[in-house]
């Protein structure tokens, strides 16, 4: 039976105690809700995979409450990574670096690297600090499904799975963290996310694409099919001519389409990509609940947070 608690002091104390006992807790970060367990306890981490229906070849992200504590999870840190830590932690940036020996193989899917970040969400930081250990946490949803940005989204997908859901309201950024790895000390973009690429390059220099396609993912959210609603999602150009249908829903960037649809959501009437990212998964959840068989989603400009939005939409439509 899952207990839903407000993310205040009492709720965080109870959730931290559950983590210390090997429990699993869904909690809000600034990006999306995470499904957390003690990141150094392999048995507790195994429950994350079971609850989500997640394949064990897909690694987890470890969350810490400070850069100093996060460094202990790495065996080495290149200068470019140090600059990114100093500039963007706490924040929506995950770094993939060689792992320390204490990190369990179940967290890294047997890889020699580990994905780590320091979240900026106050509830997440308070929970990690109270637990006194790194928290392994992918998004709190069924594997491959829409990411949750409210406690209600978590409950709808995972009711009965986690021991506790901490309700901290709607998440601020609305898309997962940006994930950066390093090849010969040079930053490599594994997944666009809540920290725009332009800001990373301003701090650490040019960021490259992975040099080759890996046999298995080096970080979460890198599979071709992911973040998908139950309805078929089709990407279209902004303002494309699509015949309205009571069996179809429409995700618009700035302007509501004409005609009768099962449901319509507009991400940002002003064209603000931050607003669009913050509302992306909430809009897709609402369109999914409309019962539509297909969701038409307009493409957005691919700069700033537009890269993260398009990454999620492409994977959802695969």
Nearest to 63, CA basis, from 11, 22, 108, 118:
118
Query: Could you tell me the pTM of the whole model?
Result: 0.94
pLDDT computed for residue 211 by the predictor: 67
Distance of alpha carbon 135 from alpha carbon 166, whole angstroms: 15
pLDDT given for residue 65 in this prediction: 98
What string of DSSP letters covers the chain? -PEEEESSHHHHHHHHHHHHTT--EEEE-SSSEEEEEETT-HHHHHHHHHHHT--TTS--EEE-SSHHHHHTTBS---HHHHHHHHHH-SSSEEEEEEBPTTS-HHHHTT-SEEEEE----HHHHHHHHHHTS-EE--BSSSTTBPPPSSHHHHHHHHTTSSSEEEE--S-SS-SPPEEEEEETTEEEEEE--SS-HHHHHHHH---BPPSS--SS-SSTT-SSS-SB-SSEEEEE-TT------TTEEEEESSSPPSS--SEEEES-TT--HHHHHHHHHHHHHHHHHTT-SEEEEE---SSTTHHHHHHHHHHHH-
Predicted local distance difference test score (pLDDT) of residue 224: 74
Q: So what's the pLDDT on residue 212?
A: 62
Please list the pLDDT of the chain residue by residue as tens digits (318 residues): 899 999 999 999 999 999 999 999 999 999 999 999 999 999 999 999 999 999 999 999 999 999 999 999 999 999 999 999 999 999 999 999 999 999 999 999 999 999 999 999 999 999 999 999 999 999 999 999 999 999 999 999 998 999 999 999 999 999 999 999 999 889 999 999 999 999 999 999 999 988 665 556 777 777 777 888 999 999 999 989 999 999 999 999 999 999 999 999 999 999 999 999 999 999 999 999 999 999 999 999 999 999 999 999 999 999
Domains present along the chain, CATH in parentheses: 3-204 (3.90.870.10), 232-317 (3.40.50.11030)
pLDDT value at residue 214:
54
């Amino acid at each position: 039976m899952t207990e839903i608690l407000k993310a205040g002091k009492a709720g965080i104390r109870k959730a931290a105690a559950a983590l210390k006992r090997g429990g699993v807790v869904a909690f809000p970060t600034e990006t999306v809700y995470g499904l957390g367990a003690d990141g150094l306890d392999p048995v507790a981490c195994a429950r994350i995979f079971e609850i989500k229906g997640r394949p064990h070849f897909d690694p987890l992200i470890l969350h810490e409450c400070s850069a100093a504590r996060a460094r202990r999870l790495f065996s080495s840190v290149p200068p470019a990574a140090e600059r990114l830590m100093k500039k963007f932690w706490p924040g929506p940036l995950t770094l993939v670096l060689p792992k320390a020996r204490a990190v369990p193989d179940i967290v890294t899917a047997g890889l020699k690297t580990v994905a780590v970040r320091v979240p900026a969400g106050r509830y997440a930081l308070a929970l990690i600090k109270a637990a006194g250990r790194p928290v392994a946490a992918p998004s709190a949803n069924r594997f491959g499904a829409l990411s949750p940005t409210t406690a209600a989204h978590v409950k709808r997908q995972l009711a009965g799975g986690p021991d506790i859901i901490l309700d901290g309201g709607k998440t601020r950024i609305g898309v997962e963290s940006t994930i950066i790895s390093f090849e010969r000390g040079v930053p490599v973009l594994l997944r666009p996310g809540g920290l725009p690429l332009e800001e990373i390059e301003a701090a650490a220099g040019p960021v490259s694409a992975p040099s080759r396609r890996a046999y298995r993912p080096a970080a979460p959210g890198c599979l071709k099919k992911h973040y998908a609603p139950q309805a078929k999602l089709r990407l279209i150009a902004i303002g494309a001519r699509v015949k309205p249908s009571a069996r179809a829903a429409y995700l618009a960037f700035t302007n509501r389409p004409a005609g009768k649809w099962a449901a319509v959501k507009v991400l940002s009437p002003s064209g603000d990509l931050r607003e669009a990212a913050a509302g992306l998964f909430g809009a897709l959840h609402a369109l999914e609940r409309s019962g539509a068989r297909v969701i038409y989603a307009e493409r957005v400009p691919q700069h700033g947070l537009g890269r993260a939005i398009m990454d999620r939409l492409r994977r959802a439509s695969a």
